[in-house]
Chain A
Amino acid sequence: MTHRMVNDTAAIEARDVGVVRGGHHVLVGIDLTVPRGSVVGLLGPSGSGKSTLIRAVVGVQQRVSGDLTVLGEPAGSPGLRRRVGYVTQAPSVYDDLTVMQNVEYFARIAGAPGASAADAVARVDLADRAHSRVANLSGGQRSRVSLAAALVGDPDLLVLDEPTVGLDPVLRRDLWDLFHTLADAGRTLLVSSHVMDEATRCDRLLLLRAGRLVADTTPDDLLRTTGAPDAERAFLALIDRQQAS
């Protein structure tokens, strides 16, 4: 299957991207392409470099080497700040404000119209808690507030660091449905997760281990080439194969 974006630039393009932190190579020689209008999963165990790669893409990571292009501009360019939405791993919203006050603030910063805040809150299924203080919400609800604060600006690229951690299965399914709705509308989503089950919900997969890209593939291809029954075992098979060669 070919994508419809022949004359379009990729959402994210990395060539030999590396990051060194405290003398330690956190990312090494990353080459990848994230096509526009897709949901791309960034999978790997804790400590594999997922958050560092995400921070490099949104332009807050220091000492990034190589070429990293986002929506046609170098990562971190001022012009991208309107077009890229970032959800950090820990919910980054204000505990002492209500859900709506938080989302309204991020809407104002993004220059989004007034009604968009209520819409974003409804999209993450928090309309009934809109006037609760974030401090009184559960961990999963907080991370949805954090997601709403990124959705509200309607960015072309959404970069989400483990947005589904700790959510109940129904909510997780609803969020993945939301991600695909956004992708169908032309948005691109880079979603990290350490839960391998989520691999099958993505259009494409990037598998990261110990700072290196193990695979840039689709869920179907991953299972077919490894012959494994699920993503977890496919991941193991890939690593075994690489260590053998």
Chain B
Amino acid sequence: MSPRLTLATAARVLRQIRGDHRTVALLLVVPCVLLGLLAWIYHGTGVFNGIGAALLGVFPFVVMFVVTSVATLRERASGTLERLLTTPLGKADFMFGYALAFGAAAVVQAVVATAFAVYVAGLDVEGPLWALVVVAVADAVLGAALGLLASGFARTEFQAVQFMPAFVLPQFLLCGLLVPRDALPDALRVVSDVLPLSYAVDAMTTVTHNRTPLGDIGVDVVVLVGWIVAALVLGSLTLRRRTP
């Protein structure tokens, strides 16, 4: 792996995203619309304060998962991936380049969505706002990393699209948003303790309710980063230079 090639790939992917104005608009506007809608639905109750922050972590995760799995499938279909793998570019350069690019896009998305949630939708946050942004970015990069990993197993567009519900929905059901994780049946709680989205939602909830959350969310962020690195390394191992 070479930092120069990883950065060149990240810059190229960012240039592609930036050139697509509609995608940029969707990345920034959709989370805000959803958060606004949620705040409106639960107007006058405390529900939005309970789950708003958690969703601030879930949206970028889902969006980045879908976008990266489609992007890598496009690289396969267009032959650019086959070509890149005949160049000095390493498989890890490719994976980490994508993760970096989507991480950078996620910073912008997280800042906009957090600002909207707090200043427009009226989310009460006890902890520092930047901590929300940090966790949201970690979530987005996690989504991108899992999307890259999943697309390694997809041979067709139909398969790639179905990996979204397969990889994302179980994590959503078990992350503690629908039922608190402590109240889950034992077997499911164990699964929920392993899945990364649980840690993202825990961290978001901690930041909203604690004035000094940094010690608690430190562990969650370490787990998230561990998952990100594991997914990217596994993803680069499933990338095949030689194909049938």
User: What CA separation (Å) do A95 and B20 show in the bound complex?
Assistant: 11
Closest-by-CB residue of B relative to A161 is B79
A170 to B163, CA, bound (A): 48
* A89 contacts across to B, CB distance below 8 A: 79
1/0 contact string of A4-41 vs chain B (CB within 8 Å): 00000000000000000110000000000000000000
- Set of chain A residues within 8 Å of B16, measured between Cβ atoms: 94, 96-97
Contact check, A76 vs B241: say whether CB atoms are below 8 A apart: yes
Q: Mark A40-60, 1 if CB is under 8 A from B, else 0.
A: 000000000000000000111
Decide if B88 touches A95 in the complex (CB within 8 Å): no
Q: Does B4 contact A (CB under 8 A)?
A: yes
**Contact indicator A60/B82 (Cβ below 8 Å):** yes
Whether A96 contacts B20 by the Cβ 8 Å rule is yes
Point out the residues of chain A lying under 8 angstroms from B9, CB to CB: 105, 109
Listed stretches A79-87, A113-121, A123-131, A177-185; interface member? A79-87
> Is B85 among interface residues, defined by CB-CB distance under 8 A?
yes
Q: Are A88 and B83 in contact (CB under 8 A)?
A: yes
Is there a chain B Cβ closer than 8 Å to A224's Cβ?
no
Q: B243: which A residues are within 8 A, CB to CB?
A: 60-62
Q: Is B154 part of the contact surface with A, judged by Cβ < 8 Å?
A: no
Q: Is the CB of A133 within 8 A of B19?
A: yes
Asked if A153 CB lies within 8 Å of chain B CBs, one says yes
A138 within 8 A of B: no
B89 located at the interface, meaning its Cβ lies under 8 Å from any Cβ of chain A in the complex: yes
Q: Determine if A109 and B89 form an interchain contact, defined as CB atoms under 8 angstroms apart.
A: yes
Chain B residues whose C-beta falls within 8 Å of the C-beta of A93 in the assembled complex: 78, 80
CB closest residue in chain B, given A89: B79
Interface size on A, residues (CB 8 A): 34
Complex Cα distance, B19 from A101, in Å, reads 11
Structural contact, A94 and B242, CB atoms closer than 8 A:
no
A116 to B81: give the CA distance in the assembly, Å: 22
The answer to whether B80 and A110 touch across the interface, beta carbons within 8 angstroms, is no
Minimal beta-carbon separation of A101 from chain B (angstroms): 6
Measured CA separation A81–B12 after assembly (Å)? 20
What per-residue 1/0 map shows which CB atoms of B69-108 lie under 8 Å from chain A? Answer: 0000000001110111111110000000000000000000
Contact A60 B85 (CB under 8 A): yes
Q: B49-71 CB contact bits vs A (8 Å, 1 = yes)?
A: 00000000000000000000000
Chain B nearest Cβ from A123, distance in angstroms: 18
Contact B12 A97 (CB under 8 A): yes
- Report the Cα distance A164→B79, complex, angstroms: 18
A241 on the interface (CB 8 Å rule)? no
**Nearest-CB residue, chain B, relative to A133:** B19
- Given A59-B242, A88-B79, A94-B16, residue A81 in contact with residue B86 (CB < 8 A): yes
Cβ contacts B231-243/A at 8 Å (1 or 0 each)? 0000000001111
Judged by a CB distance under 8 angstroms, whether A3 is at the interface is no
Q: Across the interface, do B88 and A110 meet the contact criterion of CB distance under 8 Å?
A: yes
Q: Which residues of A in the span 121-157 have a Cβ within 8 Å of any Cβ on B?
A: 133, 149, 153
Query: In the assembly, what is the distance between CA of A60 and CA of B240, in Å?
Result: 9
Tell which of A21, A94, A95 has the most Cβ of chain B within 10 Å.
A94
- Let me know if B87 and A101 touch, CB within 8 A: no
Closest Cβ of chain A to B33, distance in Å, is 25
**Interchain CB contact under 8 A, B241 and A90:** no
Check: A92 CB closer than 8 A to any chain B CB.
yes
Which residues of chain B have C-beta atoms less than 8 A from A110's C-beta?
87-88
In the complex formed, the residue of A with least CB distance to B241 is: A60
Q: Min CB distance, A106 to chain B, in Å?
A: 7
In angstroms, Cα B83 to Cα A84, docked, is 11
Q: Specify which chain A residues have a CB less than 8 angstroms from the CB of B240 in the assembled complex.
A: 62
Within B187-208, the residues touching A (CB, 8 Å) are: none
The answer to whether A97 and B241 touch across the interface, beta carbons within 8 angstroms, is no
- Is B244 touching A90 in the complex (CB atoms < 8 A)? no
A92→B80 contact, CB < 8 A: yes
Tell yes or no: A166 within 8 A of B by CB: no
Q: Given A90-B79, A101-B15, A21–B87 Cβ distance below 8 Å?
A: no
Pairs of residues from A and B, 7 with the lowest C-beta to C-beta distance, nearest first: A92-B79, A108-B8, A88-B79, A62-B242, A92-B83, A105-B12, A86-B86
A positions within 8 Å CB-CB of B: 21-22, 58-63, 76, 81-82, 84, 86-97, 101, 105-106, 108-111, 133, 149, 153
Can you list 6 residue pairs at the A/B interface with Cβ under 8 Å? A60-B241, A109-B5, A109-B8, A109-B84, A110-B88, A149-B83
B interface residue numbers (CB < 8 A to A): 4-5, 8-9, 11-12, 15-16, 19-20, 78-80, 82-89, 240-244
